[in-house]
Amino acid sequence: MNRILILSNIVLGIAMAALAILEAPDVRVSVLVTLGVFMFAIALTLEYRTRALANSLDRMVDERERARRDHAHRIAYWTLSFPIGFLGGMIVTRVQRTWGSGEGLTIAPDSMPVFLVFFWLALLLFLALPTAIIAWTEPHPLDDDIV
């Protein structure tokens, strides 16, 4: 079930990005917001199903759970280090070019939905990736009665 939730979140994210990029005239912002709310609900469901292990404090988990949590965070942030560094470099370059030419740094109103969609996807990916890794590697959560 966890893997289905993760795959459905990926499909929703791709659909959200495609709708924003294609700028279909019949797609309203409410559709993008609805897809974002569904993605957030799936992320919360995964957080509940993994017993919030990715965000647990050290004193609340045992050694095995702490090792799983730390491993998930290492994989998640190694995965995200290149895209975040690349994006940071692009932002610095853009700021240097616009300030060097004397123009202001603006985002066109027509491209604001696309910007907000990608900002939402990046934020959700950054926050939910450790939980998704834990949910993917252990699709059937362990209950306290089994352990």
Residue 145 placed within a domain: no
Residue 20 placed within a domain: yes
In a structure prediction context, what are the per-residue pLDDT tens digits for the chain, which is 147 residues long? 889 999 999 999 999 999 888 876 667 888 889 999 999 999 999 988 888 888 888 888 888 888 888 999 999 989 999 988 898 888 888 888 887 777 766 777 777 888 889 999 999 999 999 999 999 988 666 565 655
Residue 142 placed within a domain: no
Range of the domain at 124: 2-137
Residue 3 contacts residue 139 (beta carbons within 8 Å): yes
Residue 124 placed within a domain: yes
Residue 146 placed within a domain: no
Coil vs helix vs strand at 27: coil
| Prediction pTM value | 0.78
Question: How many domains are there within the chain?
Answer: 1
Nearest-angstrom CA–CA distance, 136 and 50: 10
Residues 6 or more apart whose Cβ sits within 8 Å of residue 53: 61, 65, 68, 69, 131, 134
Residue 147 placed within a domain: no
- DSSP string of 28-91? -HHHHHHHHHHHHHHHHHHHHHTTTGGG--GGGS-HHHHHHHHHHHHHHHHHHHHHHHHHHHHH
